[in-house]
């Protein structure tokens, strides 16, 4: 007998195993539908091999492993695949998973299969593959694919194979029954496993509450060639935990965060061993298992040989469930099992027990009281943690402290919750903390990955920029070289080439030529603009700058060339003096444009759009253009009028001209008034008046020009004036108007000065001019009056 | 059929709310009985009065905190606090001393910190220390056990006891007496042998020994029922035995024997009922050993060189201060780890 060590803590809950041991092992009749989840093991879910409508035979593979850690799935009976879709699976969260649904045909037709006569003749890999093809995964706990565990890489030297027949959870008797009924099969499986991993020791751990099973296994082991030792351990929960069993049987602890194989130990469940034997020696894949159906809500509790995928409701009905009193449905044991919320959930490879409990059996948990740190949890913790401290940390979300107190070594056995006198659901707190910590770690990993990715991208972009700069430099150098060569050539030989941007100089109409040159320049400008836009876009996108930059510089060069050509052409062929009408149109167009732009600017300013600056600049430009156009027009008009006067020397034409000038002057005045009004309005509104004031000054200048022109025209015709006689009335009103204007302007100036507006200066100038004008008008009036009086006197003299 | 969906484990140990507290209260009853046997009804009246007040104060605070009344009163923690304080008080202490003590214990030392499980200090000992410092005369006026009275009938009856406690009667001078610890502390220049020779009290220690024995019995019961582990009481008594044995061995004329220290004063009450309060003690087994041993040494040091004859309250409060620190440095080695971690490990 080998020595037994012990592990810290543990509890002795009521066993409740007797109920399900009253009846012999039974086989359940075929259900109407089998639901086979694709994930019944740890690792990746299997990939379906069948399609809806396929007929399958018993034992036919219907799903294959996805990757190394995964498992095959076989049809538990012959029938038709009716669906492959999501339905509830056995999981603590009550989630759904992809399942293959199989409708049995009732014939139980096996696929052709045969066992291996002598597994020792098989190659190790081949033997492991046989187990893998049988879809075997751990049937005691988590469901780790057995072939992976039994076909370890060469760096794992296994010295101890431990077979777990402890079954420490209350209520469950599936392994107990299996060990009693199929001890030979278990021993056969152990022989196969031992052949694969070549351990020096084979130990079977059984709790002392299963003497019959221990006897059966001891008998069977005696017949084996191997030295298999059955070790009876004292009944204590959780002796069946992998780590606890290892400690019990070997005295060694699995280091935190490692697996038993790292210390040369492999643990397998007895059911798994039986399944291995069935797969290798009989060629039958894992399609059924023994499941304990127990609980007070069942009339006939017992152990059943169940096809995988059988809905639990079918088993409950078979055992005579009392639906009135069924309160909680637990898959697994009462300590670590999880409650199911749907009785249609199927039995899977790891389902060792289903407890149909009444409310009296597993009552509602009483409300949790305060933790008094009694330390009972610590006394029973098999991982030697400080559960009460972990509870405080989990409750206070101090996860770093929980980690420092080895929260991750908690096996969630539930012993602490079981003994807690304050009924605190401790395990739930630990699960919560673990979940939060895992999520945090996941987030951290993600953030780290994102950072690395970002840095790599930055480095790549930087490198690309450098590469491009180097390329551009090389290209510029090459271009410079080429130019130098060309210059050498042109200086050496006769000029053969011309500037490509310059269109061929036609000797025909110079005006048409200028026009075409203009068009060419405009086209070049448009192209430049486009190129600039593309460059800006590229800069925003951050790619392929070099090409765009060269394109822009090319376009700029072209525009300059075109502009130059145009200028020289214009200089050579000065445009003929435009006609008065043309000039008028040009001036009007310029004004319209100016107005429009002003409007747009006002709009932009009101909206505080960024384009305001641009608009302002263009406004200045347009104003200048409009002024030039106006000036040109005025000049033309002046010269035209002078021409008319001088050329025709017809006095009868003069009054017409003077009339026109008068109208112009009055129009100018009206405009001035309007502007004045607008300025007043703007000042009253308190808005920016500088623009308007400037405009006003401009207009007053215009009005002045018009007035001057008028005055000049009048002065030009002194004869006619003398003949007609100076219009005293008109002069009087003019003087009055001038005075009024002076007054008004003075007012506006005073206003502007008090407000400190920049328009004050221009107003001041305008005022000075107006004053001068007013004085002139006064003088004129005085002179006219004097003349009149003399002429009157003369008249009277002649009359008298 | 509505299936309920609950996280594991589904099975729970058959235990009721307040189970631990009730066990402790039960275990303290022999001590109370012994106290009443030797000193009269005073202790019982104190316990009943203190318990009533404790429930009242607890109820008021729970109401103010808007918590379910029945649920929190049902944990028996207030009654246990009242019981422990009442057992520590002199049997015929005036009622207002008890009232102040219970108010401090329940309202200030416990509920203001967040109620049961949140208090860093033992509520009963906070109250005791406060009373001892504030009202030294009342707190040190112990009565004599009937064995040391001229006539056993001098011990006040039930009605008289009530009258004395509630200020209607004076405690007869014939009945007042210093405690053995007090007597020994103030023996002056005489040697221990001389004190024993001249003092009637020192030869009649039977009442105190009897009471200590009763507390010990209650403590053993609690150990058997696994209400707490042996670590704290055993470490404390062992440390006291060792240190008093050392000094007694080196100078028997000036220091009392280990047996004297273990069986007089509140040693047994402290070891099995006060130091073992799980809320305020260290939690790991190793921590509990250090906690208990330090307690024993502190009690001895204060008894011999401090200002007060007994020292359980001060020693317990001092060790309450240290308990969280002990917990960080005495964590057990977790399964699969090479060694235990000390302090707060930053990962």
Q: List pLDDT tens digits, range A699-741.
A: 777 777 777 777 776 666 554 444 444 566 777 777 788 788 7
CB–CB contact B3 A376 (8 Å): no
A509: pLDDT strictly greater than 70: no
Enumerate residues 6+ apart whose C-beta is below 8 A from A260.
Answer: A242, A243, A246, A254, A266, A267
> Which residue is listed with tokens 């042109």?
A490
* pLDDT score, position A496: 45
* pLDDT score, position A629: 76
Mean pLDDT of B270-289: 93
* pLDDT score, position A575: 54
The pTM assigned to this predicted structure is: 0.67
In chain A, which among 343-362 make CB contacts under 8 A with chain B? Answer: 343, 355, 357, 362
What is the distance between the alpha carbons of residues A669 and A706, in angstroms, rounded to a whole number? 9
Mutation target for A interface from B226, B280, B334, B347: give the one with most A CBs within 10 A: B334
What is the distance between the alpha carbons of residues A127 and A478, in angstroms, rounded to a whole number? 71
Question: pLDDT digit string (tens) for A269-323?
Answer: 999 999 999 999 999 999 999 999 999 999 999 999 999 999 999 999 999 999 8
A651: pLDDT strictly greater than 50: no
* pLDDT score, position A500: 46
Q: Is B297 helix (H, G, I), strand (E, B) or coil?
A: helix
Return the higher-pLDDT residue of A521 and B105.
B105
A411: pLDDT strictly greater than 80: yes
Question: pLDDT digit string (tens) for A135-189?
Answer: 999 998 788 999 888 887 767 788 899 999 999 999 999 999 999 999 999 999 9
Range with the largest mean pLDDT of A563-567, A604-608, B56-60: B56-60
Percent of chain B with pLDDT over 90: 53
B336: pLDDT strictly greater than 70: yes
Band the pLDDT of A418: cuts 50, 70, 90: very high
User: Chain A contacts of B9, Cβ < 8 Å?
Assistant: 334-336, 414, 417-418, 427
* pLDDT score, position A691: 67
Retrieve residue B170's tokens: 């004076």
- Per DSSP, A82 falls in state E
Q: Give me the DSSP letters along B47-74.
A: HHHHHHHHHHHHHHHHHHTT--HHHHHT
What is the distance between the alpha carbons of residues A4 and B28, in angstroms, rounded to a whole number? 40
CB–CB contact A371 B3 (8 Å): no
* pLDDT score, position A523: 83
Alpha carbon of A606 to those of A599, A611, A619, A683: distances in Å? 11, 11, 16, 16
Question: pLDDT digit string (tens) for A741-781?
Answer: 778 777 877 777 777 666 677 777 777 877 887 788 778 77
Per-state percent for chain B, helix, strand, coil, to nearest 5: 65, 0, 35
Percent of chain A with pLDDT over 70: 84
* pLDDT score, position B142: 85
Q: At what angle do helices A580-607 and A612-643 cross, to 10 degrees?
A: 160
Retrieve residue B318's tokens: 């001092």
User: What region does B114 belong to: left with phi over 0, alpha with psi -120 to 50, or beta?
Assistant: left
Give A394 to chain B, closest Cα distance, Å: 16
**Do residues B325 and A243 make contact, with C-beta atoms less than 8 angstroms apart?**
no
Give A445 to chain B, closest Cα distance, Å: 16
* pLDDT score, position A396: 92
* pLDDT score, position A102: 94
CB–CB contact B335 A247 (8 Å): yes
The rounded mean pLDDT for chain A is 83
* pLDDT score, position A506: 45
The beta-carbon neighbor of A370 closest among B19, B117, B345 is B117
**Do residues A107 and A78 make contact, with C-beta atoms less than 8 angstroms apart?**
yes
What is the distance between the alpha carbons of residues B17 and B23, in angstroms, rounded to a whole number? 11
What is the distance between the alpha carbons of residues B178 and B239, in angstroms, rounded to a whole number? 26
B36: pLDDT strictly greater than 50: yes
What is the distance between the alpha carbons of residues B10 and A91, in angstroms, rounded to a whole number? 16
CB–CB contact B5 A418 (8 Å): no
Band the pLDDT of A499: cuts 50, 70, 90: very low
Return the higher-pLDDT residue of A792 and A413.
A413
* pLDDT score, position A720: 45
Mutation target for A interface from B6, B9, B17, B337: give the one with most A CBs within 10 A: B9
CB–CB contact A379 B229 (8 Å): yes
CB–CB contact A256 B331 (8 Å): no
Range scoring the smallest mean pLDDT among A199-208, A365-374, B51-60, B235-244 = A365-374
* pLDDT score, position B183: 82
Mean pLDDT of A200-220: 93
The beta-carbon neighbor of A340 closest among B3, B335, B346 is B3
* pLDDT score, position A122: 87
* pLDDT score, position B75: 85
Alpha carbon of A72 to those of A36, A109, A266, A291: distances in Å? 12, 20, 22, 21
* pLDDT score, position A723: 44
Question: pLDDT digit string (tens) for A620-646?
Answer: 787 787 788 778 777 777 776 655 555
Give B277 to chain A, closest Cα distance, Å: 8
- Nearest chain A alpha carbon to B343: A404
Enumerate the β-bridge partners of residue A104: A79
Question: pLDDT digit string (tens) for A555-590?
Answer: 788 778 877 877 777 676 655 555 677 777 877 888
* pLDDT score, position A794: 47
A797: pLDDT strictly greater than 80: no
User: Chain A contacts of B19, Cβ < 8 Å?
Assistant: 421
Question: Could you give the ipTM of this predicted complex?
Answer: 0.86
Burial A690-708 (b: 16+ CB within 10 A, else e): ebbbbbbbbbbbbbbbbbe
- Nearest chain B alpha carbon to A332: B8
In chain A, which among 31-90 make CB contacts under 8 A with chain B? Answer: none
Question: pLDDT digit string (tens) for A51-88?
Answer: 999 999 999 999 999 988 899 999 999 999 999 999 99
Cα torsion for B178, B180, B186, B191, to the nearest 10°?
140
B347: pLDDT strictly greater than 80: no
Percent of chain B with pLDDT over 70: 96
Return the higher-pLDDT residue of A217 and B12.
A217
**Do residues A271 and A140 make contact, with C-beta atoms less than 8 angstroms apart?**
yes
* pLDDT score, position A216: 94
Mean pLDDT of A409-418: 93
Pairing of strands A353-358, A228-233: unpaired
Angle at B91 between CA B197 and CA B39, to 5 degrees: 55
In chain A, which among 555-584 make CB contacts under 8 A with chain B? Answer: none
Return the higher-pLDDT residue of B101 and A262.
B101
Enumerate residues 6+ apart whose C-beta is below 8 A from B134.
Answer: B100
Radius of gyration of chain B (CA): 22
């Amino acid at each position: 007998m080998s020595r037994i060590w012990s592990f810290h803590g543990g509890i002795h809950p009521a066993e409740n195993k007797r109920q399900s041991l009253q009846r012999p092992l039974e086989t359940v009749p075929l259900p109407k539908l089998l639901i086979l989840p694709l994930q019944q093991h740890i690792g990746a879910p299997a990939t379906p091999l069948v399609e809806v409508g396929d007929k399958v035979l018993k034992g036919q593979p219907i799903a294959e492993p996805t990757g190394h850690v995964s498992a095959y799935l076989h049809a538990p009976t012959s029938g038709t695949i009716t669906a492959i879709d999501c339905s509830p699976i056995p999981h603590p969260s009550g989630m759904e998973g992809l399942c293959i649904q199989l409708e049995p045909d009732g014939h139980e037709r096996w696929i052709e299969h045969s066992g291996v006569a002598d597994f020792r003749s098989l190659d190790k890999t081949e033997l492991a593959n046989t187990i893998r093809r049988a879809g075997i995964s751990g049937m005691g706990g988590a469901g780790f694919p057995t072939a992976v565990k039994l076909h370890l890489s060469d760096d794992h030297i296994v010295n101890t194979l431990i077979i777990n027949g402890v079954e420490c959870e209350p209520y469950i008797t599936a392994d107990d029954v299996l060990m009693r009924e199929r001890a030979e099969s278990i021993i056969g499986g152990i022989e196969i496993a031992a052949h694969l991993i070549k351990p020096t020791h084979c130990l079977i751990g059984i709790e002392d509450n299963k003497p019959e099973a221990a006897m059966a296994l001891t008998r069977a082991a005696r017949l084996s060639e191997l030295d298999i030792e059955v070790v009876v351990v004292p009944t204590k929960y959780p002796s069946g935990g992998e780590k606890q069993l290892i400690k019990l049987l070997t005295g060694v602890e699995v280091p935190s965060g490692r697996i038993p194989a790292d210390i040369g130990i492999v643990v397998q469940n007895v059911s798994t061993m039986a399944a291995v034997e069935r797969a290798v020696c009989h060629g039958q894949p894992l399609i059924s298992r023994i499941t304990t159906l127990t609980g007070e809500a069942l009339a006939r509790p017992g152990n059943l040989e169940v096809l995988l995928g059988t809905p639990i409701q079918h088993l409950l009905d078979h055992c005579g469930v009392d639906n009135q009193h069924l309160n909680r449905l637990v898959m697994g044991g009462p300590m670590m099992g999880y409650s199911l919320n749907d009785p249609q959930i199927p039995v899977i490879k790891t389902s060792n027990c289903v407890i149909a409990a009444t409310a009296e059996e597993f009552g509602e948990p009483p409300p949790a009281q305060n933790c008094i740190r009694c330390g009972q949890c610590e006394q029973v913790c098999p991982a030697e943690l400080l559960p009460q401290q972990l509870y405080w940390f989990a409750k206070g979300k101090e996860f770093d402290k929980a980690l420092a107190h080895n929260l991750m070594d908690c096996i969630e056995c539930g012993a602490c919750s079981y003994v807690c006198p304050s009924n605190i659901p401790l395990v739930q707190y630990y699960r919560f903390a673990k979940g939060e910590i895992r999520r945090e770690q996941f987030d951290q990993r993600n953030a780290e990955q994102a950072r690395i990715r970002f840095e790599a991208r930055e480095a790549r972009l930087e490198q690309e920029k450098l590469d491009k700069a180097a390329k551009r430099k090389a290209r510029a150098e090459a271009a410079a070289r080429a130019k130098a060569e060309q210059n050498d050539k042109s200086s050496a030989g006769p000029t053969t080439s011309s500037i490509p941007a310059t269109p061929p100089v036609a000797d025909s109409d110079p005006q048409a030529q200028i026009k075409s040159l203009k068009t060419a320049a405009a086209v070049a400008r448009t192209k430049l603009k486009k190129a600039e836009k593309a460059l800006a876009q590229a800069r925003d996108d951050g790619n392929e700058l070099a090409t765009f930059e060269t394109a822009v510089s090319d376009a700029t060069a072209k525009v300059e060339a075109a502009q130059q050509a145009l200028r020289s052409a214009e200089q050579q062929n000065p445009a003929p003096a435009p006609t008065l009408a043309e000039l008028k149109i040009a001036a009007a167009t310029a004004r319209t444009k100016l107005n429009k732009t002003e409007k747009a600017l006002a709009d932009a300013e009101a909206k505080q759009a960024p384009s305001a600056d641009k608009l302002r600049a263009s406004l200045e430009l347009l104003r200048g253009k409009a002024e030039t156009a106006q000036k040109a027009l005025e000049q033309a008009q002046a010269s035209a009028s002078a021409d008319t006067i001088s050329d025709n020397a017809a006095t009868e034409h003069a009054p017409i001209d003077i009339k026109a000038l008068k109208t112009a002057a009055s129009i100018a005045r009206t405009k001035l008034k309007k502007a004045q009004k607008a300025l007043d309005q703007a000042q009253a509104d308190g808005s920016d008046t500088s623009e308007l004031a400037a405009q006003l000054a401009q207009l007053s200048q215009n009005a002045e020009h018009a007035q001057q022109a008028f005055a000049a025209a009048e002065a030009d015709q002194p004869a006619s004036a003398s003949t007609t006689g100076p219009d005293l009335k008109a002069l009087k009103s003019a003087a009055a108007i001038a005075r009024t204007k002076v007054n008004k302007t003075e007012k506006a100036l005073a206003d502007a000065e008090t407000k400190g507006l920049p328009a004050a200066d221009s107003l001041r100038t305008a005022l000075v001019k107006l004053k001068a004008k007013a004085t002139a008008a006064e003088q004129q009036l005085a002179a006219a009056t004097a003349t009149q009086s003399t002429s009157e006197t003369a008249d009277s003299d002649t009359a008298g | 059929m509505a299936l309920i969906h609950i996280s594991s484990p589904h099975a729970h140990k058959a235990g009721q709310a307040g189970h631990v507290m009730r066990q402790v209260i039960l275990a303290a009853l022999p001590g109370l009985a012994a106290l009443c046997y030797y000193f009269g009804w005073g202790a019982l009246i104190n316990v009943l009065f203190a318990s009533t007040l404790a429930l009242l104060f607890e109820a008021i605070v729970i109401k103010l905190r808007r918590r379910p009344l029945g649920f929190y009163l049902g944990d028996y923690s207030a009654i246990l606090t009242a019981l422990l304080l009442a057992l520590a008080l002199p049997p015929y202490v005036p009622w207002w001393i008890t009232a102040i003590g219970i108010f401090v214990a329940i309202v200030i030392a416990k509920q203001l910190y967040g109620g049961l499980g949140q208090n860093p200090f033992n509520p009963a000992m906070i109250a005791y220390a406060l009373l001892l410092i504030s009202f030294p005369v009342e707190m040190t006026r112990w009565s004599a056990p009937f064995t040391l009275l001229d006539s056993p009938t001098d011990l006040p009856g039930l009605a008289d006891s009530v009258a004395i406690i509630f200020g209607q009667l004076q405690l007869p001078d014939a009945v007042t007496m210093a405690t053995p610890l007090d007597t020994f502390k103030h023996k002056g220049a005489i040697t221990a042998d001389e004190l024993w020779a001249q003092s009637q009290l020192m030869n009649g220690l039977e009442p105190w020994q009897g009471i200590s024995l009763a507390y010990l019995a209650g403590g053993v019961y609690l150990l058997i029922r696994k209400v707490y582990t042996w670590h704290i009481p055993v470490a404390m008594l062992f440390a006291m035995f060792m240190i008093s044995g050392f000094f007694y061995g080196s100078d028997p004329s000036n220091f009392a024997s280990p047996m004297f220290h273990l069986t007089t004063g509140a040693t047994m009450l402290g070891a099995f009922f006060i130091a073992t309060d799980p809320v305020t003690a260290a939690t790991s087994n190793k921590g509990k050993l250090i906690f208990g041993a330090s307690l024993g040494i502190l009690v001895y040091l204060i008894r011999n060189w401090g200002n007060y004859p007994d020292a359980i309250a001060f020693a317990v409060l001092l060790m309450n201060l240290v308990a969280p620190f002990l917990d960080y440095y005495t964590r057990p080695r977790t399964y699969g780890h090479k060694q235990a971690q000390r302090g707060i490990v930053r990962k």
